[in-house]
Amino acid sequence: MADVSAKRQRDPEATNESSNQTKKAKTDCETARGDNGNGTNALSGFQTTIVLSDSAREKTIFVHGKLADQNAVVILEKTPIREDALAEIFTASTLKLEMRNDIYSTYRLQAPPHLNEIKATVVCPATEKHVNKYQRRESFLVEETAEDYQSITLPYIQKQSFSVQWVYNILDKKAESERIMFEDPDPKLGFVLLPDFKWDQKQLDDLYLIAITHQKNIKSLRDLTSEHIPLLQNIFQKAREAILKRYSLPASKLRVYLHYQPSYYHLHVHFTKLGYDAPGCGVERAHLLADVIQNLQADPNYYKTRTLYFPLRADDGLLSQFKEAGRL
């Protein structure tokens, strides 16, 4: 972040020009998406360039293309089947037989349109980083020592990480304020809790919420020390209480964890329903918040000194840095 600030101070005219171009691109995308609330088809003008990746198992597809002459990424995802919709699905759908063999038969079922939704997420204007993020790539497990973090990872993320302005917009109530389901406004211990975009909030089976800290100087797990235990305990306790109150889901049915590496460098905690195979919940990336607290209680500098492992995709610039340093 310091490097970016220094660059702005050195070349303010270039920064202003870049900022103006970015604002214009965002305005063009907003117009194309129909963000003015006129009810138009936001994606009618989208032109597909390439399918970045897809998953038959997860019923998702990631597409790169153009929207109002701006680079855009569109994510299409089949919404889950809800229990309260089953009666209508069985009574109001049409069936076409595909195969019958003894006691087994398969059909093509066409549900009523309002029960056959596809969730669409639009990133516009999309940068090259966004395109690379969603493209299918081979992954590698990286071993990062405390020295590696200081000499390789930290300098890289200070220069290359995504902007977290959208996070500040949420914290400052400039965006998504209506989506915040709980807030502790304390500047040191506080946080906001809101649904992750991956959850459509129509059923609890794939519940997914994010707690974002009000403190803006904690990038990731590596920055945590025993000084932050009260913050972590506050999030752990109050967010679970809020989830129980709103969704009647007890703490025993929640998976609460942090990512390392995180997808953005502002401390946040993931809350998902136990049993939901959420993206990134595997042991190679997820660290249970309860374990993080206990580790810091046992060793105040646990995450500043220990070796951490995490996956990186083949096209990740950080992976290249580890290779150049002879660490992979």
Which residues in the chain land under pLDDT 50? 1-22, 36
What's the CATH number of domain 139-324, 3.30.565.10, 1.10.8.10, 3.30.428.10, 3.40.30.10? 3.30.428.10
* Termini Cα distance of the chain: 26
Question: Minimal CA–CA distance to 259: which of 280, 235, 275?
Answer: 280
Q: Which residue is associated with the tokens 């304020």?
A: 177
Q: What pLDDT is recorded for position 161? A: 57
- Location of each CATH 3.30.428.10 domain in the chain: 139-324
Distance between CA atoms of residues 47 and 256, nearest Å: 39
**Concatenated DSSP letters of 285-306:** TEEEHHHHHHHHHH-TTHHHHS
Q: Which residue is associated with the tokens 């998504």?
A: 176
Distance between CA atoms of residues 212 and 311, nearest Å: 23
0.85 surpassed by pTM: no
Question: Is 268 an active-site residue?
Answer: yes
Q: What pLDDT is recorded for position 18? A: 42
**Concatenated DSSP letters of 226-251:** GGGHHHHHHHHHHHHHHHHHHH---G
Q: What pLDDT is recorded for position 38? A: 52
C-beta separation of 260 from 223 below 8 A: no
**Concatenated DSSP letters of 29-41:** HHHHHTTTSS---
130, 268, 270, 287: the active-site residue: 268
Q: How many residues does the chain have?
A: 328
